[in-house]
Structure 1
Amino acid sequence: MEGRSPARVRNELMAGIVDVLQESATVRHPGSRDLWLTMLEQELRVPVAAIGTDALRPALLRLLDTCNGVRDGLSCLVRSLAYVEQQSTAVSALWRLVDEWEAVDFFDKADLHPLRPALRAMGASGLTVLARRASRSRTQELPAWCDNGWQVFLRLSGGNTADGELPAGMAFLVLAADLLVEQGRQDAAELVRRWNRHKAQDWGLQNELAAWERAGFTPSTPSLVPAYLLIQFEPDGIDSEHYHMSHWRQSDAEGWHPVPGETVALHRDQLPGEVERLIEQVEEQWADLRQPVIVEFILPWELLNEPVEWWTKESSSGSPTPLVMDYPVLIRSLERLRKAAWHRPWHGKWRQLREFPADSHAYWCRPSGGTAYFFHLERELKEDQQAVCVVLSQPPDDASDVGRKELLAALRAGVPAVLWYRGGSDDAEHREAFGEIVEERGLGGLMERAVKWRKDALALGPDGWDGHVGRHIALLLDDPERKPGPANSGHVPVPPRERPQPAP
């Protein structure tokens, strides 16, 4: 259990980091190296010495010492290199080494390498599930470089730990040992357990470890709680044809913990293609997910009538498929999300819809009386607490000021569900469809019934679905309790790593 000395562990890790840096094209080229160092200095907020071509390795070792003296310094080093190289092989290799550095630091400079052979042999399948459980859902997803049990252990080790809680890295070892036993690797499992028990004894965590070992690992059954992909389009503010697209992924069945993705600036014409790319990427990340997935679009006024649920995926195959084939797709209002003054009635009507769906009802808009109509519409919606769904008389698009004003009244009144017909004209067919959606069996199944009509249109195929009412149904269903986090627009400082103190 003793292994290598702390000094040797530290020096070998530093040497490994320098080995990777020396192979980086950015570090080898003077111009790009200077750019990297400038960006690194800005992130560290301390001076960084210039690095010449001569004596490159000693200079890089000194740079590591500088970074190590700053909180989150090694992560700053890798992030700065990623700004220049993006997700290169060198950047991925460095993230692995930084995770190991921080894990070693967390475990009091202990030699973790005895665990490496047993954990590295664990394939990527199922590791995300183990990581979520070991971290108590604080870690929902794993970065791409966590492709075996060793890397997941390093990634989880050192995360913030509450008093009386087993650190996530040690909890992961408990689950990993159980999995190794299932795979018939008894010797590897026993090695992992011995290491874990030795560390628990050092830190006075025997009871916490025993509780995890008694619980054991049992494969989870598929959750009925959906996972959500939230996609937000925010107007550029300067160029009306450009938008900032952000997204969040939520797959934690035990709580609402959306994980932010990158924010990209796009022309309006690029939005469908970028959504397609994003969904393919998320499906790869969620390959082992066994929950249903719901896609929600958070849209500004000018995009609310866009038929986003009929945007396609798999377009490069020559046989693209609409999103409605694979997901329930809902739309939400960006303006309401941002307007805190509208949130109190929104929460009230959502509670009415969620807790008393059978006692709730829809309000059908029927324009009359000129401009006074919109005033009385808002007044009636605010007075009628059971009115939790509004059926617009016209779509809220550029051609219809009526539809937009009806929607505005509904949002101000806190109405969480709004239906409209994108076809524009008022006809008996779509009124019949909406009547079934909002009047049968209460309002608890709004989404399911709207999805059914869309599936009926889908069944007619590309040559026939445009003539079906289900092709033109828009449903805004806005849950105030499912709010995304802030867009991932920059570096978020990592909180200081805490660990249990050794037992006296």
Structure 2
Amino acid sequence: MRPAREASRRYSPAVVEERRRLVGQIATAMETSSVIRDPGSRQLLLQELNHALAGALGYRELSLLRPQIVELVTVCVDRPGGLRRLVDCMELLDPGSEHTVTLLRLADEWHTVELFIDYDFPWLRDVLSAVDVTGELRRFVAETRATPPPPWCRTAWDLLTHLASANSHASVPPWLTLLDRLTPAVPETVQERMRDLVAQLARDWGVTEQIEASQPDLPAPVGTAYLVIQFEKYGGDDDSYIMSHWYQWSSPVWQPIRGEDRRVWYGELEAAVDQVINETERRWADQSGAVTIEFVLPWQLINEPVDTWRKELQSPLPSPLTTEYPLVIRSLDRIRAGHWHRVWRNRWQGLPRSDGDRQLIHCASRHQVDVQLQAALNSKSSVAVLVLSETPTANSDGERQLLVGLRSGVPAIVWHRNAPSTKDLCETVASMIGDQVSGRGVVELPRHAARLRQLAWSEDPDVLGPHVGHGLVILFDDPDRQPGRTAATDDGRRKVLA
């Protein structure tokens, strides 16, 4: 909550000049708008503004247009939330126009001036306006506000005003966290001044300990950007699914952004996925790094050959997803079955241990199903990878083994669609994990599988060919990254993922 301002404090000349500058820029942006220049539209704007402010504006009618606009803007900025209401009404009458976008940006900047009005801050605008927006800064804002920053946010000052204009219930105001992050990015000559401002703001907001305890973000490891695509059966009888998706660029905190849901018929699933991937790639056009795609599948689709799906289907040369992305599947049934989650987390959280001779892989035999398999898994709490004896088709032993593996909390379950011998498949999985008893090899399993699939395509372009990389299926479930849920500790605070 913003600290109370002393009524007797007088604004510095620099702050007064900032206010005058913004009123002038807002008036100029409005003066060239067709909504203002047309008398009928202007009257409609005033009518909508009266409704928005729940009362008469109480400003003087002047004969000249420019002074009348300045009078209107001045009246609005002197009323709590008045300028934002004015811009909202302009957007209602002239949505998406250049004038409206300019006004939205200026309204955010005005809110920042109001927020910092008791501080020596005008220098900050010049400094941050010279700092370009990076992908990491965009990710931070996207995760904080659950939506990407608008395209007009091209500088750090734009991002700051964008964050400062939004209400937040976080203990540390997001704009203050952003300022703290920006300190190393400004010129050395003003870094000390920046630190002093952050410290003063932290004291006034009562969050000094949280700011001091914050650590600089470590570089995000390669492959921690995710696109999660989920299918869920629609209704009972028809052949359609609700397709949902979430996306998040590299971040140690799991707080994905949810995309728009859509209903898709079974025969159109691949094309719908292609569309979502293209949309996400356009959104990440200014990023660099690896992306993992995860398919969250219901039981009806658990053996769907998503690893053979392609992207850019409308092009003359569609390409397999697996040649570009690490790709795994996940179980919607396990994510929805909360009574399975404790044992699931137990196995996942046991991965970092390196306490001697641990068995990380269990290869099920053809006769090991149901109770026998469950007892074997429960007696080996270190098992993190289950290799099925066969493809989990309907009513097969492989399907029953898969169900036992999910119930027993095994994070990674592997099978092969083209049915190589179980022994060969187990040896392949063991070679991918290596001798890392700490479980790090299990965590890297999706990346190793991606390389194996790429090798298969480079050596044998026949998807049904003999290479073990064709038809290899990896079900890989991290309980700390569930679609629709952010990572949190028991007391509700967000948890940093390893």
Taking structure 1 as the reference length, what is the TM-score of the superposition? Answer: 0.68
Structure 2 counterpart of 1:57: 45
* Residue pairs, 1:410-425, within 5 angstroms: 410-423=405-418
Question: Do the aligned residues in 2 keep the contact of 1:197 with 1:206 (CA within 8 Å)?
Answer: no
Question: Do the aligned residues in 2 keep the contact of 1:250 with 1:259 (CA within 8 Å)?
Answer: yes
Deviations 1:202-252 (A, max 9, x none): 88669999x999x9xx99866447222222222223564222222222334
* Residue pairs, 1:53-132, within 5 angstroms: 55-66=43-54, 96=105, 99-100=108-109, 102-108=111-117, 122-124=131-133, 126=134, 128-130=135-137
Match of 2:390 among 356, 370, 394: 394
Q: Which has the higher contact order (CA 8 A, sep 6+)?
A: 1
- Report the Cα offset of residue 298 of structure 1: 1.3
Question: Do the aligned residues in 2 keep the contact of 1:249 with 1:258 (CA within 8 Å)?
Answer: yes
- Structure 1 residues 169 and 374: alpha-carbon distance in aligned structure 2, compared to 1, 3 A threshold: closer
- Structure 1 residues 13 and 64: alpha-carbon distance in aligned structure 2, compared to 1, 3 A threshold: farther
Rounded Cα–Cα distance in structure 1 between residues aligned with 2:377 and 2:206: 56
- Report the Cα offset of residue 201 of structure 1: 6.3
Taking structure 2 as the reference length, what is the TM-score of the superposition? Answer: 0.69
Q: Say whether residues 1:484 and 2:461 are aligned partners.
A: no
Rounded Cα–Cα distance in structure 2 between residues aligned with 1:412 and 1:483: 17
Rounded Cα–Cα distance in structure 2 between residues aligned with 1:287 and 1:258: 18
Rounded Cα–Cα distance in structure 2 between residues aligned with 1:168 and 1:297: 34
- Report the Cα offset of residue 311 of structure 1: 1.9
Rounded Cα–Cα distance in structure 2 between residues aligned with 1:299 and 1:288: 30
Question: Do the aligned residues in 1 keep the contact of 2:227 with 2:291 (CA within 8 Å)?
Answer: yes
Could you tell me which amino acid in structure 2 is paired with residue 301 of structure 1?
Answer: W
Q: State the SS of the aligned residue for 1:315.
A: coil
- Structure 1 residues 122 and 269: alpha-carbon distance in aligned structure 2, compared to 1, 3 A threshold: farther
Q: Say whether residues 1:231 and 2:234 are aligned partners.
A: no
- Structure 1 residues 86 and 60: alpha-carbon distance in aligned structure 2, compared to 1, 3 A threshold: closer
More moved, 474-483 vs 166-175: 166-175
Rounded Cα–Cα distance in structure 1 between residues aligned with 2:34 and 2:109: 16
Rounded Cα–Cα distance in structure 2 between residues aligned with 1:389 and 1:72: 59
Rounded Cα–Cα distance in structure 1 between residues aligned with 2:15 and 2:181: 21
Rounded Cα–Cα distance in structure 1 between residues aligned with 2:300 and 2:80: 46
- Structure 1 residues 57 and 484: alpha-carbon distance in aligned structure 2, compared to 1, 3 A threshold: same
Rounded Cα–Cα distance in structure 2 between residues aligned with 1:362 and 1:240: 39
- Structure 1 residues 70 and 236: alpha-carbon distance in aligned structure 2, compared to 1, 3 A threshold: farther
Rounded Cα–Cα distance in structure 2 between residues aligned with 1:471 and 1:374: 28
Question: Do the aligned residues in 2 keep the contact of 1:421 with 1:473 (CA within 8 Å)?
Answer: yes
Structure 1 counterpart of 2:363: 364
Question: Do the aligned residues in 1 keep the contact of 2:307 with 2:321 (CA within 8 Å)?
Answer: yes
Deviations 1:435-490 (A, max 9, x none): 22136536643514433331221113534664423110101011112223259xxx
Rounded Cα–Cα distance in structure 2 between residues aligned with 1:264 and 1:87: 25
- Report the Cα offset of residue 86 of structure 1: 9.7
Structure 2 counterpart of 1:384: 380
Deviations 1:256-304 (A, max 9, x none): 3323333233223333223223223333333444443222111111121
Structure 2: where are the runs of 5+ without partners?
1-13, 56-75, 487-498
Aligned CA-pair RMSD: 5.0
Q: State the SS of the aligned residue for 1:233.
A: strand
Match of 1:167 among 145, 157, 176: 176
Match of 2:322 among 318, 321, 324: 324
Rounded Cα–Cα distance in structure 1 between residues aligned with 2:22 and 2:120: 6
Question: Do the aligned residues in 2 keep the contact of 1:132 with 1:139 (CA within 8 Å)?
Answer: no
Deviations 1:71-107 (A, max 9, x none): 999699969989x999787885665355345434433
Structure 1 counterpart of 2:7: none
Q: Say whether residues 1:142 and 2:146 are aligned partners.
A: no
- Structure 1 residues 165 and 391: alpha-carbon distance in aligned structure 2, compared to 1, 3 A threshold: closer
- Report the Cα offset of residue 412 of structure 1: 1.0
- Report the Cα offset of residue 138 of structure 1: 3.9
- Structure 1 residues 392 and 223: alpha-carbon distance in aligned structure 2, compared to 1, 3 A threshold: closer
Rounded Cα–Cα distance in structure 1 between residues aligned with 2:45 and 2:120: 25
* Residue pairs, 1:392-471, within 5 angstroms: 392-398=388-394, 400-423=395-418, 426-428=419-421, 431-438=423-430, 440-441=434-435, 444-446=440-442, 447=445, 448-460=447-459, 462-463=461-462, 466-471=465-470
Deviations 1:186-214 (A, max 9, x none): xxx86x998997897688669999x999x
- Report the Cα offset of residue 151 of structure 1: 2.2
- Report the Cα offset of residue 346 of structure 1: 0.8
Structure 1: where are the runs of 5+ without partners?
29-51, 182-188, 488-504
Structure 2 counterpart of 1:375: 371
Q: Say whether residues 1:156 and 2:163 are aligned partners.
A: yes
Structure 2 counterpart of 1:243: 241
Question: Do the aligned residues in 2 keep the contact of 1:130 with 1:175 (CA within 8 Å)?
Answer: no
* Residue pairs, 1:295-310, within 5 angstroms: 295-310=293-308
